Structure 1
Amino acid sequence: MKDVAERANVSVSTVSYVLNDSGPVAQDRRNRVLDAIRLLDYSPNESARSLKRRSASTIAMVVPDLTNQFFAMVTEGVQRAASAVNVLVVLVVPDAIELPEENYAKLLRSQRVDGVIYLSGTGSMPESIYDLAKSGPVVLVDEQIPGRDLPAIVCDSRRGAREVATHVLDQGHRRIAVIGGPPALWTAQQRLAGYREAIAGAGIDPDSVPVHAGDYRQESGRAAATQILSGPAGERPTALLCANDLMAIGAIDCLRNNGLRVPEDMSVVGFDDLPISALLTPRLTSVRQPAHDMGFRAANVLFNLLEGNDVDTSGTLPAIVKIRESVGPPCR
């Protein structure tokens, strides 16, 4: 900035006014500053500027993996919010870099990111990530972690699960199985609780409904469906409640490989409403989470915290049931 000021024959504060649009500058002086910036190929130090104005220049986004479209859509929302305020997003995908959580926490600290948006794949948070919250804010998205008092932007998974299970029960299904998510994850617990509430409301003992734990990946849905089909044909469920779309897709693939039709022989529902879900045959009944909006809101909460603004540090977005052709009455 001193070099720019000398070249333009103005004060350093005048250069700052021009760069930040933070004070009055006569047009001829503004033009001289802009010419000097171009001639010197000057680029402001965003890290230094962010320290001065208590804002962000770089944030980190931690996601379990990007093979799940839902995670990618959340990340896109974060990126959209960040680009609107010229903030760089450092993407950390633990599965891709093959680093333990403790190690990538050290990596983030060495990069001196201003804050972190964290989407857990385990339902827990290592101490080293939590320690980052002592030097800069950490905002959770699509998750709440017991014992961690951190801002969180989530979807009303429990209500969405209850409503989609109610739709299945209204079709006449009474033999139901659940393919749930990782038991330690808050999202999986919320969805299972919603299913159980709907089942109990239909006069069925929820403890009588088998729950097969998956990991939100397609292969685990296929494996759970294989186990379900291993029982006697007359005792098989007529409907599967899957805690995300990828596991539902894996389950449908298993059913087809075993000569079963959806929904004629078995109805299937998912959760997340990924873009591919409306392209399947039959189209998948699912619960839509506003993934992009969740990422966008989490980023804006982070930015407001960095700037010291008063902001609601929690938020629950609505889930919307999308009824399609993968659910029908049970076969008689």
Structure 2
Amino acid sequence: MESLATIRDVARLAGVSVATVSRVINQKDLVNPETAEQVLKAIEQLQYVPNAVARGLAGKKMGIIALILPDILNPFFPALARGVEDVAHKQGLTVILGNSDDLGIKESSYIKVLKKKYVDGFIFASNTIREEDVMALRREGIPIVLLDRGLTTTACPIIRSNNREGAKLAVRHLIDQGCRRIAHIYGPQEFITARERLLGYEDIVGESKDFSPSLIVPGHFDIESGRRGAEQLLARYPDIDGIFAGNDLMAVGALKALHERGIRVPEEVKVCGFDGIGLTEITEPELTTVAQPIYEMGGLATRVLLDEIESGISENTIIELDVTLVTRKSTRRGQN
């Protein structure tokens, strides 16, 4: 059988990057119309078919990718999964979802089972993916992308937000709103996202005369640990006037603790979270947050994985996406 054209063949003929070809296939409005027309002509000339059937004929692929998430109950991850699934569906791919509970051994078990099902590639939104598992997949030529979290350095593409800069945005905003003693509830420090957000917080307040290391308390990226963290902070520093939580769920927990104590938000204490999950729009008061492009991250991870499946080449890059400060009632100065 005559070999089928790949996405890289299309990119070469059209004189553009693989990423541009992928954008034309998936979201034409993101590409200059003249460039898009050039790509479409190359696709027609090469009879390129970007779907699971073509991949199966060319490389004995099954049109299946695996997405391993750490906690499906955290609203952040269903939004991430939706981005992955939507792009995969457009390409005729099936997504198998696994929930690892942030357990490396459970992730290893998923890898072992899914490899037998001839999964074409893996996306891990994981803090606990083990280096040996990543390297084993790479040695076997199985495409893999780490999404949102992952290792500091590894031999595969990593896609996440700019967590450190996002934390700086949050703390600067609290200062701009009049806060002088700002506390931080941080996430598990074995997670690179939590470490980067803590570092961003320290970048801004570390040299302040009002700063003390005891203004920092641990949490676990869930509501209850945010509530407990806020309780600890209020017991130590009744005069704190700002809380930056390492994710939105912990910020919701902090709001709960403040409400239980009869402390008004934002008049007495202002609260900011991180992630931009939908829950932040229905809290009372509505929660200011540093919003990650969650859906877009999932979609980009899928496109990067598909490019690797098509080409057999991993560029092993770290892509950091910009975040956006979304201000709401929980931090606004002079809010009634």
- TM-score bracket, normalised by the shorter chain, equals 0.7 to 0.9
Post-superposition Cα deviations, 1:187-237, rounded to whole Å, max 9, x if no partner, equal 111111111122247x4475546221211111111121122233363xx42
Bigger Cα Rg:
1
Higher mean alpha-carbon deviation, 205-214 vs 287-296, is at 205-214
Q: Which amino acid aligns with 2:324?
A: I
Post-superposition Cα deviations, 1:154-186, rounded to whole Å, max 9, x if no partner, equal 111111110111010122222121001110111
Higher mean alpha-carbon deviation, 303-312 vs 69-78, is at 303-312
Q: Name 2:289's counterpart in structure 1.
A: 286
Kindly state the Cα deviation for residue 270 of structure 1 after the two structures are TM-superposed.
Answer: 0.2
Tell me, in whole angstroms, the C-alpha distance in 2 between the residues paired with 1:186 and 1:213. 15
Kindly state the Cα deviation for residue 53 of structure 1 after the two structures are TM-superposed.
Answer: 4.2
Tell me, in whole angstroms, the C-alpha distance in 2 between the residues paired with 1:196 and 1:318. 20
Kindly state the Cα deviation for residue 323 of structure 1 after the two structures are TM-superposed.
Answer: 1.0
Post-superposition Cα deviations, 1:31-80, rounded to whole Å, max 9, x if no partner, equal xxxxxxxxxxxxxxx68952624766111000001111111111100001
Tell me, in whole angstroms, the C-alpha distance in 2 between the residues paired with 1:127 and 1:51. 31
Among 170, 179, 187, the alignment partner of 2:176 is 170
Q: Name 2:42's counterpart in structure 1.
A: none
Tell me, in whole angstroms, the C-alpha distance in 2 between the residues paired with 1:263 and 1:107. 50
Q: Note the 1:26-65 alignment, pairs <5 A.
A: 50=56, 52-53=58-59, 57-65=63-71
Among 292, 306, 328, the alignment partner of 2:309 is 306
SS in 1 for 2:116: helix
Tell me, in whole angstroms, the C-alpha distance in 2 between the residues paired with 1:128 and 1:182. 22
SS in 2 for 1:91: strand
For the pair 1:125 / 2:130, whether they are aligned, the reply is: yes
What 5-or-longer segments of structure 2 have no aligned partner?
5-51
For the pair 1:105 / 2:108, whether they are aligned, the reply is: no
Kindly state the Cα deviation for residue 315 of structure 1 after the two structures are TM-superposed.
Answer: 1.9
Tell me, in whole angstroms, the C-alpha distance in 2 between the residues paired with 1:205 and 1:197. 14
Post-superposition Cα deviations, 1:124-180, rounded to whole Å, max 9, x if no partner, equal 525235422322111011124034232011111111110111010122222121001
For the pair 1:255 / 2:261, whether they are aligned, the reply is: no
SS in 1 for 2:101: helix
Among 94, 98, 120, the alignment partner of 1:88 is 94
Kindly state the Cα deviation for residue 104 of structure 1 after the two structures are TM-superposed.
Answer: 2.2
For the pair 1:68 / 2:60, whether they are aligned, the reply is: no
For the pair 1:195 / 2:201, whether they are aligned, the reply is: yes
Among 237, 242, 246, the alignment partner of 1:243 is 246
What is the aligned residue count?
286
Tell me, in whole angstroms, the C-alpha distance in 2 between the residues paired with 1:99 and 1:193. 29
CA contact (8 A) 1:287 1:320 kept: yes
Q: Which amino acid aligns with 2:110?
A: Y
Task: Say if 1:97 and 1:316 are closer, same or farther in 2 by CA, change over 3 A.
Answer: closer
Q: Name 1:36's counterpart in structure 2.
A: none
Task: Say if 1:116 and 1:228 are closer, same or farther in 2 by CA, change over 3 A.
Answer: same
Q: Name 1:218's counterpart in structure 2.
A: 223
CA contact (8 A) 2:157 2:314 kept: no
For the pair 1:142 / 2:143, whether they are aligned, the reply is: no
CA contact (8 A) 1:270 1:287 kept: yes
Tell me, in whole angstroms, the C-alpha distance in 1 between the residues paired with 2:314 and 2:288. 36
State the TM-score, normalizing by the size of structure 1: 0.77
Q: Which amino acid aligns with 1:291?
A: I
Task: Say if 1:264 and 1:71 are closer, same or farther in 2 by CA, change over 3 A.
Answer: same
CA contact (8 A) 2:62 2:118 kept: no
Kindly state the Cα deviation for residue 108 of structure 1 after the two structures are TM-superposed.
Answer: 2.0
CA contact (8 A) 1:116 1:137 kept: yes
Tell me, in whole angstroms, the C-alpha distance in 1 between the residues paired with 2:255 and 2:156. 37
What 5-or-longer segments of structure 1 have no aligned partner?
1-12, 18-45
**Identity, % of aligned pairs?**
34
Among 317, 324, 328, the alignment partner of 1:320 is 324
Kindly state the Cα deviation for residue 97 of structure 1 after the two structures are TM-superposed.
Answer: 11
SS in 1 for 2:185: strand
Tell me, in whole angstroms, the C-alpha distance in 2 between the residues paired with 1:260 and 1:177. 16
Task: Say if 1:322 and 1:95 are closer, same or farther in 2 by CA, change over 3 A.
Answer: same
Task: Say if 1:76 and 1:53 are closer, same or farther in 2 by CA, change over 3 A.
Answer: same
Q: Name 1:23's counterpart in structure 2.
A: none
Q: Which amino acid aligns with 1:252?
A: L
